[in-house]
Amino acid sequence: MSTTIPSQGKCSELQVFRASHNNLSGLLPEDIYNATKLEEIALPFNSLHGAISDKIVNLTNLAILDLSFNHFGGELPLNLGKLSKLKFVTFDFNNLEGALPPSLMNCTNLVELRLGNNNLEGDISMLDFSRLSQLTKLDLRLNNFTGTIPVSLYSCRSLKAIRFAKNHLEGQIQAEILSLKSLSFLSLGGNRFTNLTWAVKILMSFKSLHTLSLAGCYEGEGMPSDDDMVDFDGFQNLRLLNLAGSDLNGQIPLWLSKLKNLELLELGFNQITGPIPSWLGTLPRLFYINLSNNRISGEFPKTLCRLPRLLYGPNIASQADQYEFELPIYGRSSSIITTQTFPTHILDFFAPTIVLSKNNIVGDIPTEIGQLQLLQELDLDSNNFSGVIPDQLSNLKNLEVLNLSMNLLSGIIPSSLASLNFLKEFNVSYNNLEGSIPTGTQLQSFEASAFEGNPKLCGAPLLNKCEPNKGIDADNKNNKDVHNWLHQLPWFYIFAALGFIVGFWGVCGFLVINKTWRYAYF
């Protein structure tokens, strides 16, 4: 049940007003602007609406103003810059519109300015950020800003995080950005920038950069892969690299092999060709790989089954640090099965993942994949994998998502997969599987659509009932008999050959040695 904010008329001495996550609705009470001693207003995660009144400039002692995750609309007060003591301004996830008031640049004590997920607009390059010498975080994502990255921003030498993702910016990244020596978080995706190779070459020089997202803003360009990039020791502290969603062509570049601190790699939704390089499995900290929706060919490299961060070991806890991003990352964890995205500062929010969906990968799923015991999500759907589903998948006890649909897999569904107790998503549809779905297991809890497209597959939850003596035991026996026959087949030929040698030379050899018998025989 929602409620409105009560009158603050008798709270003239009030200095801090916090009421987050309280399902508050309605407008901010007018008399709150009379509480001139207020230093903090923090009302995030409510349902407040209406415009932010011009009277807010009466609160001259205000240092923290957090109205994020509400429904505030209208334009920002034109004289907001009169609040010269403001340090932290957070208006994320509202319905604010109009341009940023130029007076905001008079708030020279600003440390964080976060206005993401609104409808703000205007040419951002016209604003003069040079006076905001204490600014450490600037987040303007998901608005309608135009222009280029403001050159004045490079004067804010304290900046650690910049996010302009999903606006309408254009132009190129300039070398002057390197003056921001402390920059560790840069997210520019979803704009209309050009010359990706030039941008990457510049950004490689950053020693402090941990997070780089250029997704969806260099449409149709080539994957940056110049020879001189391989020889340059750049991005040595990079943890997250996102170049997804730009239809980039070319192959996975060799310079990625030198990123020894890389943990998350997003290259999905491009036009990448060629095989998955074997060196990808040697990156010591990599635990999240998304190469989906490309044109990658070749086989699943066995070296990828030896990714150190996905192998179970006594030292794995020390590797999985609690690194925090400077700004929240919006992503989906496999532990939360939904299309909604969730903000997180914590790197460990992202589940250990390998996503190779919608490519042209061929060959067997390697049995060595069973070594990746910390893997939580495995998506191999919409490829050309053949052979059987390896029994070794049952070793992946932490697996929550397994998608093998739309391939050329044959044989039975191994009954051992029933031991995967944490599965929330499972799909083997549209293959050439046969036999009975293992009964009395978690696999029966999934919908029939997870198994459809396999005409020879039978049993619940499919309506196709198994014929007598054609159940899983019979299928397992047949598979075992075939396996034993294949195993014994070489010995059959060996003994047959030995028998022939002994019989042939037992007679012919004696005739060669015994002259009398030889004359008698011939």
Q: What is the per-residue pLDDT for 7?
A: 64
Q: Do the Cβ atoms of 59 and 85 come closer than 8 Å?
A: no
Residue 134: its H or E element: none
∠ CA 359-361-362 to the nearest 5 degrees? 145
| Choice among 257-266, 291-300, 347-356, 388-397 with the minimum mean pLDDT | 347-356
Listed in order, strand segments (DSSP E) in 369-504 are: 377-379, 384-386, 401-403, 410-411, 425-427, 432-436, 456-458
Q: Where are the alpha helices (DSSP H) in 288-396?
A: 316-319
Q: Which of 175-184, 287-296, 321-330, 464-473 has the lowest average pLDDT?
A: 464-473
Calculate what percentage of the chain has a pLDDT beyond 70.
Answer: 84
End-to-end alpha carbon distance in the chain: 112
pLDDT in tens, 463-492: 989 987 644 443 444 444 434 443 444 544
298-302, long-range: CB < 8 A, 24+ apart: 298/274, 298/361, 298/362, 298/363, 299/275, 299/361, 299/362, 299/363, 299/364, 300/276, 300/356, 300/361, 300/363, 300/364, 300/365, 300/366, 300/369, 300/380, 300/385, 301/275, 301/276, 301/277, 302/366, 302/368
Tens digit of each residue's pLDDT (9 = 90 or more) over 423-478: 999 999 999 999 999 987 788 889 999 999 999 999 999 998 998 764 444 344 44
d(CA 451, CA 318): 40
| Preceding amide of 461 cis, omega within 30 | yes
State yes or no: pLDDT of 258 exceeds 70.
yes
- The radius of gyration computed from the CA coordinates of the chain, to the nearest angstrom, equals 32
Given this model, what pLDDT does residue 518 score?
A: 40
Q: How many CB atoms lie within 10 A of CB 170?
A: 15
Give the residue among 174, 236, 228 at the shortest CA–CA distance from 210.
236
Stretch 140-155: mean pLDDT: 96
Lowest mean pLDDT among 96-105, 208-217, 306-315: 306-315
pLDDT given at position 194? 96
Q: Are 270 and 247 in contact (CB under 8 A)?
A: yes
pLDDT single digits (tens) 303-351: 999 999 999 765 554 455 678 899 988 755 443 333 344 577 788 778 9
Determine whether 148 is exposed, middle or buried from the number of CB atoms within 10 Å of its CB (0-12, 13-18, 19+): middle
Instruction: Quote the pLDDT of residue 14.
Output: 85
Backbone angles phi, psi at 135, to 5 degrees: -65, 125
Whether 59 shows a pLDDT value over 60: the answer reads yes
pLDDT computed for residue 321 by the predictor: 60
Bigger pLDDT: 21 vs 406: 406
Q: What is the mean pLDDT of residues 109-131?
A: 96
Instruction: Determine the residue type at 386.
Output: S
Using an 8 Å Cβ cutoff, are 353 and 374 in contact?
no
Share of the chain above pLDDT 90, in %: 71
The pair phi, psi for residue 444, each rounded to 5°, is -75, -10
What is the distance between the alpha carbons of residues 450 and 442, in angstroms, rounded to a whole number? 13
Task: Specify the pLDDT at position 474.
Answer: 39
Which of the residue ranges 9-13, 390-394, 507-511 has the most confident prediction, judged by mean pLDDT?
390-394
CATH number for the segment(s) 1-120:
3.80.10.10
Rounded to the nearest 10°, the torsion over CA 433, 437, 441, 445 is 90
Rounded to an integer, what distance in angstroms lies between the CA atom of residue 517 and that of residue 402?
73
Q: Is the pLDDT of residue 517 over 70?
A: no
Per-residue confidence (pLDDT) for residue 196, from 0 to 100: 96
**Averaged pLDDT score across all residues of the chain:** 87
Look at residue 372 in the predicted model and tell me its pLDDT: 96
Point out the least confidently predicted range of 120-124, 272-276, 315-319, 481-485: 481-485
Q: Which residues of 177-213 are buried (b: 16+ CB within 10 A; e: fewer)?
A: beebeebbbbbbbbbebeebbbbbbbbbebeebbbbb
